[in-house]
């Protein structure tokens, strides 16, 4: 069914007072959230792409010269806390501020955090202050924007998973551009420039959301401003039998637990996989290999910018007359992105030798998301739409396949080796399989939390979803800190195979208990 003719969706939007204009078959308001989240992820992943490599880079190259273990432990604490604070931020929004104000507060705090990190070359205290501010700001921002996406669709809508997948594409557009540009500028121009650039676009994301708030109608308002229709909906939630609510929450808990095992593996990207890229991967390219990479890198730079520019154009056609400042703010940010993109391509083509940056490999995940997200969205909508547990199982298996590829590719690395020159192809393959797995887990997980959770606890449950990611990041950082020890005692292949084994075991359990879990969802799929 075409979304414009989806009567249930239209009635839902009308009841919530949401602008009923559609973009590509979905509410225009979804794409405002798309761009808000895009710039927030630009800032987060742009900084994260630099974090580990900055810490372990030699002092002579303006890094801090930390050991791999020290860097992995800080990485684990930072990324873990980033995903832990949304638990508190979701509760604050549910009880005090409402989702919209929480998003704006979080965006402002994160902007200040990036600004602080831009002064890391003056004092290390600015660096640590920036980390703290970004942890706190993300806690207010992250769970509440995800909650607003879910409220744009009725729970019975078959388009809800597709809406979250589109939103997830926005997440990865921002992550891609952040890692591409902040990573490149940080490694090749100056670390503080890379950290500072991340904050510029966080600011633009905040501005464009601020001027578009009315497009959301009653969604995200401050608690206490509940309208008659919402009170009726709250009563209907209370009328849902307690055993059904309990069963659905059990399913949410199972999916959250499964996500820990997925992200424990997946989040090696910013940790042990970054170390593998820096110390064990051939990154100096000469001759034809260098020329080919320059053209591929140019395409990877320009093509995604072109895609999201087209999305902005489609949105602006629908909302410019009512929300001009939102479109203008986003257009200015895109003008800056285009300028930086062309500058980067021009600079690389004028270098005699090509050195692939360590952070470049991390953009592959987001690039594959951008190119594959719509295909997965159509797959769930029109071809095959299995239950959430089955989708999660496939995601866990695929992330494991990525580490099997790395294990195979690193078989030539001698036991205890500190450096090597393994082909780039193994990291590329790993990121491809990790991405396909992510598309089976992350957007699906967000959708199921929204569909299965009682509405009055939506912010809290999204906070718990990110708490699971926090636990995964703590474990990922701790596991990554053992890379040198395992390589010295066993091998690099052994390290990657250990990481691959756990997700496969959890995937098998999900497939075994799929029937039971489907029954416990009581009609929601």
Condensed to tens digits (0 to 9), the pLDDT of residues 59-68 reads 888 889 999 9
CA 291 to chain centre: 31
Token pair of 480 as six digits: 């990554």
Contact 115, 199 (CB under 8 A): yes
pLDDT for 42: 92
Token pair of 118 as six digits: 């831009």
Token pair of 512 as six digits: 């075994």
Q: Where are the beta strands (DSSP E) in 268-364?
A: 284-285, 354-355
pLDDT for 13: 87
- For residues 179 and 194, give the distance between their C-alpha atoms in angstroms, rounded to a whole number: 10
Half-sphere exposure of 197 (CA within 13 A, CB side): 28
Q: Cα dihedral angle (399, 405, 408, 411), rounded to 10 degrees?
A: -80
Collect the ranges in the chain with pLDDT lower than 50: 1-4, 226-229, 232
Helices (H), 320-361: 324-349
DSSP 239-268: HS-HHHHHHHHHHHHHHHHHHHHHHHHHGG
pLDDT for 225: 56
Contact 58, 190 (CB under 8 A): no
Which residues, 6+ apart, have CB-to-CB distance to 274 below 8 Å?
52, 53, 358, 359, 361, 362
- For residues 29 and 22, give the distance between their C-alpha atoms in angstroms, rounded to a whole number: 8
Residue 298: DSSP 8-state: H
pLDDT for 236: 52
End-to-end alpha-carbon separation of the chain, Å? 18
Pick from 265, 347, 268: nearest CA to 301: 347
Token pair of 386 as six digits: 């299995």
Token pair of 472 as six digits: 């995964």
- For residues 35 and 329, give the distance between their C-alpha atoms in angstroms, rounded to a whole number: 11
Residue tagged 């009725």 (tokens): 154
- For residues 207 and 501, give the distance between their C-alpha atoms in angstroms, rounded to a whole number: 44
Contact 454, 233 (CB under 8 A): no
Helix (H) or strand (E) holding 423: none
pLDDT for 2: 44
């Amino acid at each position: 069914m075409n979304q414009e003719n989806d009567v249930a969706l239209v009635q839902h939007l009308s009841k919530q007072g949401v602008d009923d204009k559609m973009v590509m078959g979905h509410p225009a308001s979804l794409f405002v959230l798309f761009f808000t989240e895009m710039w927030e992820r630009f800032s987060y992943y742009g900084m994260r792409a630099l974090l580990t490599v900055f810490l372990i880079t030699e002092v002579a190259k303006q890094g801090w010269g930390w050991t791999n273990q020290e860097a992995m432990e800080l990485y684990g604490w930072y990324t873990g806390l980033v995903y832990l604070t949304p638990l508190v931020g979701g509760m604050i929004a549910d009880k005090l501020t409402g989702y919209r104000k929480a998003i704006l507060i979080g965006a402002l705090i994160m902007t200040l955090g990036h600004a602080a990190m831009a002064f890391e070359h003056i004092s290390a205290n600015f660096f640590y202050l920036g980390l703290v501010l970004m942890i706190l700001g993300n806690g207010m921002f992250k769970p509440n924007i995800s909650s607003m996406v879910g409220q744009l669709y009725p729970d019975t809508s078959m388009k809800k998973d597709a809406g979250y997948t589109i939103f997830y594409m926005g997440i990865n557009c921002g992550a891609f551009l952040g890692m591409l540009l902040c990573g490149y500028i940080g490694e090749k121009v100056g670390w503080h420039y890379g950290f500072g650039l991340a904050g510029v676009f966080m600011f633009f994301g905040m501005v464009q959301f601020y001027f578009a708030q009315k497009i959301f109608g009653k969604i995200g308002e401050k608690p206490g401003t509940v309208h008659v229709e919402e009170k009726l909906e709250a009563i209907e939630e209370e009328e849902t039998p307690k055993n059904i609510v309990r069963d659905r929450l059990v399913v949410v808990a199972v999916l959250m637990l499964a996500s820990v095992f997925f992200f424990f593996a997946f989040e090696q990207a910013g940790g042990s996989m970054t170390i593998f890229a820096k110390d064990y991967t051939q990154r100096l390219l000469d001759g034809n290999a260098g020329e080919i990479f320059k053209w591929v890198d140019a395409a990877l730079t320009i093509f995604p910018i072109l895609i999201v520019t087209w999305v902005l154009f489609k949105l602006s056609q629908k909302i410019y007359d009512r929300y001009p400042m939102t479109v203008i703010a986003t257009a200015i940010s895109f003008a800056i992105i285009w300028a930086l993109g062309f500058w980067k391509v021009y600079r690389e083509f004028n270098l005699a030798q090509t050195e692939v940056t360590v952070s470049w490999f991390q953009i592959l995940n987001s690039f594959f998301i951008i190119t594959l997200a719509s295909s997965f969205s159509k797959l769930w909508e029109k071809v095959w739409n299995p239950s959430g547990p089955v989708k999660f199982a496939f995601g866990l298996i695929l992330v494991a396949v990525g580490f099997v590829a790395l294990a195979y590719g690193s078989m030539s690395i001698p036991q205890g080796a500190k450096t090597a020159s393994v082909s780039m192809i193994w990291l590329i393959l790993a990121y491809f399989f990790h991405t396909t797995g992510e598309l089976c887990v992350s957007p699906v997980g967000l959708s199921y939390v929204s569909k299965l959770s009682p509405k009055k606890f939506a912010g809290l449950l999204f906070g718990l979803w990110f708490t699971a990611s926090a636990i995964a990041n703590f474990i990922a950082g701790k596991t990554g800190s053992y890379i040198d020890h395992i390589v010295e005692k066993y091998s690099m292949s052994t390290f990657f195979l250990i990481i691959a084994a756990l997700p496969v075991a959890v995937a098998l359990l999900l497939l075994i208990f799929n029937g039971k879990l489907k029954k416990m969802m009581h009609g929601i799929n």
